Structure 1
Amino acid sequence: MKLFVKDLTVIDSTYLCPDRGLVGESWLVDIELGGSLNDMDMLLDFGQVKKLIKRLIDEKVDHKLLVPNRSPLCKVKTGEGYTQLDFMRPHGKSIHLRCPDEAYTFIDSVEVSNEALTAYVKNVVLEQLPANIQDLAITLRHESIDGPYYHYSHGLKKHDGNCQRIAHGHRSTIEIQVDGEYDIDLATSWAMKWRNIYLGSESDEISQQDISFYQQQAWQDHYAFAYQSPQGFFELVLPKQETDILPCETTVENLAAYIASTLAKVMEGHSLKVIAYEGVGKGAISEVYR
């Protein structure tokens, strides 16, 4: 007997990639359970599926930085509840963080592939399932998007949940309308502008010398960010060419408004509508009327 749940949850996280740097991603999660019926003639109550399995996935991988633990590029130091991570990419594109331990998930692989992440999630969930469940299949898949989309990472220091983690992200659709008509060229241009981007707030930018683990090393062509939030102190250093600094907090509401206001400056006399998504099925709308 098997039981299945489609779209159980969405994982919104960022993973480290040698080529792309910080990659914000969103995965839809489907599960299939196999085994024998329990004393209620069920494999597992659907309420328990959502309560147990969704909670485990959310706790272990959602809104975290996914790190390929066996990558030779990763240098890790831990102590006193904090983890310092140096991702030593070539060509001056290294990435450095010091964050509370809970901000990371370490995947036992050389790279964070769909297969490696799926295996990690499956092992985490299997350990907590009741004895009558003998088999578990997990599918991580991307939302089917017909139009432009971008991958972005960010952190929200004012957030009281896990969005405050300085390097988590999303795979997000963007739609732009001009005078009531969908403009795919404008949407595509913004998707390309923010392809594999870190969106930082200018209020969080600091001098490299103020990073706690700075060792008189010059990170040429890098930005540094840091902030205190309810979960602890977060620090990040990453390449300028993979970063866009905005004059606001990088909430999806502000992202939609920023795009709309930027376009309005060069498109006078036109009405604009920006629909910016944050991952799957949610987002914000900003409109400018002329």
Structure 2
Amino acid sequence: MILFVRDLTVIDFSYLCAERGMLGESYIVDVELHGNLDATSMVLDFSRVKKIIKQAIDQLVDHKLAVPANATALTLQQHAEQVVLQFTSARGLISMAAPSQAVVSIATSQINEHSVTEFLQQQIKPLLPDNVAQLVFTLRPEQSTGFYYHYSHGLKKHDGNCQRIAHGHRSTIQIYTDNMLSPRLNKYWCERWQDIYLGTEADLCAESELSYLQASVDDHCFRYQAAQGWFELCIPKAHCEIVPCDTTVECLAEYIATQLKQQDDMKNYKVVAYEGVAKGAIAYS
């Protein structure tokens, strides 16, 4: 017998890639449980599927930075409750210091849908009743015929897991000029923010202000104290865009709308910016 749940949850996280550097991703999660019926004539009650599996996914991967533990490009050290890592990519060296709970190390040489799927299945299967013989996850990006970009960020003021300095999303965008969808502007912003780290100007710091990391002249350095602990990040400037606001989706939508209006104030703009799947903000200018 197979029990299935489509669209169980969405995983929003960032990961390190040898070619693309740091990038944000959003995966929709489908799950199948293969097994025998229990005493209640179920493989597993749907409420328990959502409670056990979704909660485990949130704790294991969601809103974290996933790193490929077997990659030679990675060095990772544990300092009490703090993780300090370096990763060499084709786009330059990325360094981060963060509380342990902000990082997930996966035993693979490459983070992708397959390796994350295997990791989740291995970690979550032991949490299920004995009558469940097999757990099968399917991770998939949102189907989109429009434009989208991958971005990473951190929200130091957030009281949840969004405060982690390197988590991210795969997000679609819809920009309207005088009430008409503008493919040109959508394409421009998605190319501008493809595989980007969006940093808040107020979080920038000098290398001398860092406690754990060293930077080069080609890096932007960020640091902040949040409820979960101390965060630092050094990332190549070419990998970043610095914005004069927090990087909430509300502020990002407003930032894009303001930029558009400054370029041509004779037109009216509507920006529909998504944060991952099926949620976002709308700004007008």
Which TM-score tier does this pair reach, normalised by the shorter chain? Answer: over 0.9
Deviation at 1:214, TM superposition (A): 4.1
How far, CA to CA, are the matches of 1:90 and 1:272 in structure 2? 36
- Does 1:253 pair with 2:284? no
Q: Deviations over 1:171-222 (max 9, x none)?
A: 000000011100011011000000000000000000012111245xx51310
Match of 1:155 in 2: 154
- Does 1:234 pair with 2:231? yes
How far, CA to CA, are the matches of 1:79 and 1:24 in structure 2? 26
How far, CA to CA, are the matches of 2:129 and 2:261 in structure 1? 56
How far, CA to CA, are the matches of 1:34 and 1:214 in structure 2? 46
The residue matched to 1:118 in structure 2 has which SS?
helix
Letter paired with 2:250: E
How far, CA to CA, are the matches of 1:196 and 1:214 in structure 2? 22
Letter paired with 2:241: D
Deviation at 1:90, TM superposition (A): 5.2
How far, CA to CA, are the matches of 1:30 and 1:80 in structure 2? 36
Evaluate the alpha carbon distance shift between residue 214 and residue 66 of structure 1 in structure 2; reply closer, same or farther with a 3 A threshold.
Answer: closer
How far, CA to CA, are the matches of 1:271 and 1:90 in structure 2? 39
Match of 2:44 in 1: 44
How far, CA to CA, are the matches of 1:177 and 1:88 in structure 2? 39
The residue matched to 1:88 in structure 2 has which SS?
strand
Evaluate the alpha carbon distance shift between residue 90 and residue 144 of structure 1 in structure 2; reply closer, same or farther with a 3 A threshold.
Answer: closer
The residue matched to 2:127 in structure 1 has which SS?
coil
Q: Is the 8 A contact 2:35 2:43 kept in 1?
A: yes
Query: Superposed, which structure 2 residues align to 1:13-32 within 5 Å?
Result: 13-32=13-32
Identity %: 47
Match of 1:278 in 2: 275
How far, CA to CA, are the matches of 1:64 and 1:213 in structure 2? 19
Q: Deviations over 1:144-181 (max 9, x none)?
A: 01111000000000000000000000000000001110
Match of 1:169 in 2: 168
Q: Deviations over 1:44-96 (max 9, x none)?
A: 000000011000001100000000000001111102100000112357x1000
Letter paired with 2:280: G
Letter paired with 1:260: A
1:220 to 217, 222, 246: 217
Letter paired with 1:271: N
How far, CA to CA, are the matches of 1:214 and 1:65 in structure 2? 17
Q: Is the 8 A contact 2:2 2:32 kept in 1?
A: yes
Match of 1:202 in 2: 201
Match of 1:85 in 2: 85
Match of 1:134 in 2: 133
Divergent runs of 4+, >4 A: none
Query: Superposed, which structure 2 residues align to 1:77-116 within 5 Å?
Result: 77-89=77-89, 93-116=92-115
* TM-score between both structures, scaled by the size of structure 1: 0.97
How far, CA to CA, are the matches of 2:217 and 2:126 in structure 1? 45
The residue matched to 1:84 in structure 2 has which SS?
strand
User: How many pairs were matched up?
Assistant: 285
For structure 2, list consecutive stretches of 5 or more residues without a partner in the other structure.
none
Q: Is the 8 A contact 2:20 2:90 kept in 1?
A: no
The residue matched to 2:145 in structure 1 has which SS?
coil
How far, CA to CA, are the matches of 2:266 and 2:237 in structure 1? 34
For structure 1, list consecutive stretches of 5 or more residues without a partner in the other structure.
none
The residue matched to 1:187 in structure 2 has which SS?
helix
Deviation at 1:18, TM superposition (A): 1.1
Deviation at 1:266, TM superposition (A): 1.2
2:259 to 249, 258, 262: 262
Match of 2:4 in 1: 4
* TM-score between both structures, scaled by the size of structure 2: 0.98
How far, CA to CA, are the matches of 1:115 and 1:87 in structure 2? 21
Q: CA RMSD in A?
A: 1.0
